[in-house]
Amino acid sequence: MAQLYALGPRLKEPLEIVFIDQWGQPEAGIDGGGVFKEFLTSIVHEVFDTDRGLWCTNDRHELYPSPYSYAQADEQLVWYTFIGRILGKALYEGILVDVKFAGFFLNKWLGLQGYVDELASLESLDKDLYRGLIALKNYTGDVENDFSLNFTVSKDEFGEQTVTELIPGGSDIPVTRENRLSYIYHMTRYRLSVQIEAQCRAFFGGLSDLIDPRWLKLLNREELRILLCGTESPIDLEDLRRHTVYGGYHEKDLSVQYFWEALALLDQSSLKAFLRFVTSSPNPPLLGFGELNPKFAIRHAGDDATRLPTASTCVNLLKLPAYSSREQCLEKLKYAIHAEAGFDLS
Whether 314 is catalytic: yes
Of the listed 200, 229, 314, 329, which one is catalytic?
Answer: 314
Start-to-end CA span in the chain (Å): 26
Candidates 3, 42, 7, 37; CA nearest to 210 is 7
Sign of CA dihedral 5, 7, 10, 11: negative
Print the SS3 string covering 148-210. Answer: CCECEEEEEECCEEEEEECCCCHHHCECCCCCHHHHHHHHHHHHHCHHHHHHHHHHHHHHHCC
**CB-CB contact of 41 with 95 (8 Å):** yes
CB atoms within 10 A of CB 49: 11
**Partners of 319 in the β-ladder:** 299, 310
DSSP assignment letter at 324 = S
**CB-CB contact of 50 with 43 (8 Å):** no
Candidates 282, 274, 283, 263; CA nearest to 311 is 274
The amino acid at residue 175 is V
Candidates 243, 263, 299; CA nearest to 309 is 299
Q: What does the alpha-carbon distance between residue 88 and residue 12 come to, in Å, rounded to a whole number?
A: 9
Q: What does the alpha-carbon distance between residue 62 and residue 100 come to, in Å, rounded to a whole number?
A: 5
Burial class of 88 by CB neighbour count within 10 A (0 to 12, 13 to 18, 19+) = buried
Q: Which residues carry out catalysis?
A: 314
